[in-house]
Structure formats: C-alpha cells, structure tokens
Amino acid sequence: MTHTEVSLVAVAVTVVLDLWVLRTRLLTTRAYWVSYAIVLFFQLLTNEWLTSRGVFRYDPDAILGWRIGHAPVEDFLFGYAIVTQSMVWWVFWGRRGVEREAPPAGGLVAQRRAAAAPSSDDGAATRPPAG
C-alpha cells in the first residue's frame, strides 16, 4: 500500500470507530475540534521543519504530490487519524472506568495540598524553635 492509501484507510477507520463502533462521538464536539486545531498547529511546524531539512523524504510514486509547505498532505491525514484515535480510545476507556482507583475528593490539586500540609501529629517538628 502507498502512503496515500494507508492514510485514507486510517482516516476512514478512525471516523467509523468514533461514530459507530465505540460511539464516543468525539468528532461531533467543539472541544475535540479546538483540541485538534492546537495539535494541527504544532504538527504543521514539526512537519515543515522535518521535511524541509530532508529528515523525511517521500517516494513520489507513494504520495499524491499535494503538499502543505514541504510535507505531503498524507502526513496530515495520517496525523489526524493517530491523534483522533488516541483521543477516542482515551474517552472510550475512561467512560468504562479503567482507572484502578478513584481519584480523591477534590481532585489532584486537593491531594497534593493535603500531602504537602503538615499533619497535626508532627506539628511540633514543623514549628520554629522558641526564643
């Protein structure tokens, strides 16, 4: 398979997984598209840097020939599939309670504050010396 074929199949599989198989419907949310726009910005920078310097080279017979900057359009299709599937699987497993233990009440910030605060048992050790 060419890079173009793999990229197109990856996009199709990603959309089918999100909307019909796993039913996360992430592609229908604004939060997803805002997140993806941020990722896409950095993908543009990274792809431009890597392809313009020859770090990656593509066989002209394996790509369409359309480029965004120096990177073939297939890179963006494949990147879309990878990023989106990562997010889709994250949501899918998160909805099924894959975490081993529930987070403490108040979340991670409250947990860190509680861990950093001196306990009443060793209060004498944390007080400055008198005098």
- Asked whether residue 45 is domain-assigned, the answer is yes
pTM of the model: 0.69
Does residue 34 belong to any structural domain of this protein? Answer: yes
Does the pLDDT value for residue 42 go beyond 60?
yes
In a domain, 103, yes or no: no
* 53 domain residue, yes or no: yes
- Largest Cα–Cα distance in the chain? 82
Residues 6+ apart with CB under 8 A from 19: 25, 27, 28
Expressed as residue numbers, the domain containing 46 is 3-92
Query: What is the pLDDT, as a whole number, of residue 105?
Result: 66
The pLDDT tens digits of the residues spanning 26-36 come to 999 999 999 99
Alpha-carbon distance values, 22 to 25, 29, 94 (Å): 8, 15, 12
Domain count for the chain, please give it: 1
Q: What is the pLDDT of residues 71-122, one digit of tens each?
A: 899 999 999 999 999 999 999 999 988 866 666 666 667 677 777 777 665 5
d(CA 104, CA 34): 29
- Does some domain include residue 66? yes
Residue 33 lies in a domain: yes
